[in-house]
Amino acid sequence: MNGLLGYQFGPNQKLEIDYRYYRDKRGNGVKVYVKDGGYETFIDHNLRASYEGSIKRVEVNANAFYFYEQYYRQNENINNSGEYKLVDKNTIEIMHCMHNFIDNEN
């Protein structure tokens, strides 16, 4: 799912907001006891905002982004000795950044 929203405040100012959502589940082909067997799931949220404008003689370009990912992995297997093993891993990653550029014309 994606969405882009933009607004022009006037001839010299504009704002854009971009949002993206991704969700997926992928099996790894190994199923021993658990209903879904081994698999990975991804849930991602990406948000980006940008502003471009000029106020009198000052040019402004500002960008910001936010990224959130939830990753889950479930593995199950039976080793050569016949021992059953079930492993779960749940990870959350969050990143954000802001970048501004200002140019003063003389």
State the pLDDT at residue 101.
Answer: 66
State the pLDDT at residue 20.
Answer: 96
pLDDT digits (tens, 9 = 90+) for 69-98: 999 999 999 989 999 999 999 999 998 887
Region of 82 (left: φ > 0; alpha: ψ -120 to 50; beta: rest) is left
Number of helical (H) and strand (E) elements in the chain, helices listed first: 0, 5
pTM (two decimals): 0.72
Domain boundary assignment for the chain: 2-104
State the pLDDT at residue 22.
Answer: 96
pLDDT digits (tens, 9 = 90+) for 35-79: 889 999 999 999 999 999 887 778 888 899 999 999 999 999 998
